[in-house]
């Protein structure tokens, strides 16, 4: 009997795979049997080395998604079955002071690049009449407002909406599109929050699990959404948040 949780024979691309959540997802996909292409604006050599040392297969590409169209060409000459849209940035400032530059920079990477990269992936899958899976990395701020991150909040609301729209259009064409909304995870993006004693305590006090999440906590959910076990899951935004939204 075929293992429905196996990714043997599948080829995955993970953006923002040089560190944090993207690195953990890349490792998780490789452990499930996928060949993984690690993409980042910084070197992904560490991620590739970690995968290879564990017996997996990986390679890397350097792409800067501040050019929102940079991802469109990634699928030319490559048969990619899985796309993980993890690359993202954040800028923090009070809304009253927020600059146009910080707005545009975040929206370009987190939303515009995500859409056009996914469009390129889907075109390639459909051209070969293949099967594909897309997992977008959304956020708790796809549901909530947060504070001091207006462009990040807007972009992550957009990611959740796009996930549903693309699922509606592509579910019958062999492409699963879903998203994961991570809770408060120990990554570079949350370093400022963890360094602020008051914010850190307030966050921990609300998380039923009683701890910050680890990047590896997201990897299992991502692997599941890419496997045949999730073949009838379309347009879901799966919260992996230690119980935050249920509080």
The catalytic site residues sit at 152
Tally the C-alpha atoms within 13 A of residue 72's C-alpha that lie toward its C-beta: 8
Residue 210 φ then ψ, to 5°: 75, 15
Nearest CA-CA partner of 33 in 4, 10, 64: 10
* Strand residue runs (E) in the chain: 11-15, 35-40, 57-62, 82-85, 132-137, 175-182, 237-240
Distance CA 35, CA 57 (A): 5
Query: Euclidean distance between the first and final Cα of the chain, in Å?
Result: 40
What is the torsion angle, in degrees rounded to the nearest 10, for the CA atoms of residue 224, residue 217, residue 50 and residue 62?
Answer: 80
Environment class of 199 (CB within 10 Å of its CB; exposed 0-12, middle 13-18, buried 19+) = middle
């Amino acid at each position: 009997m075929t293992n429905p949780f196996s990714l043997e024979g599948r080829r995955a691309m993970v953006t923002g795979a040089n560190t944090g959540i993207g690195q953990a997802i890349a490792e998780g996909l490789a452990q499930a049997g996928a060949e993984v292409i690690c993409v980042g604006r910084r070197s992904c050599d560490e991620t590739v080395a970690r995968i290879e040392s564990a017996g997996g297969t990986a390679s890397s590409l350097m792409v800067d998604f501040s050019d929102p169209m940079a991802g469109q060409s990634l699928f030319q000459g490559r048969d990619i079955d899985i796309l993980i849209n993890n690359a993202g940035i954040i800028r923090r400032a009070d809304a009253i002071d927020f600059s146009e530059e910080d707005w545009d920079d975040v929206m370009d990477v987190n939303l515009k690049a995500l859409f056009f990269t996914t469009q390129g992936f889907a075109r390639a899958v459909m051209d070969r009449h293949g099967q594909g899976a897309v997992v977008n990395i959304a956020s708790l701020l796809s549901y909530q407002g947060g504070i001091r991150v207006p462009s990040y909040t807007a972009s992550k609301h957009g990611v959740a909406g796009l996930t549903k729209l693309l699922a509606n259009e592509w579910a019958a064409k062999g492409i699963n599109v879903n998203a994961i909304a991570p809770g408060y995870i120990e990554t570079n993006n949350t370093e400022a929050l963890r360094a602020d004693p008051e914010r850190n305590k307030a966050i921990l006090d609300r998380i039923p699990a009683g701890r910050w999440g680890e990047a590896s906590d997201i990897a299992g959910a991502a692997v599941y959404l890419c496997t045949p076990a999730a073949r009838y899951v379309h347009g879901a935004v799966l919260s992996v948040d230690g119980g935050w939204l249920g509080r």
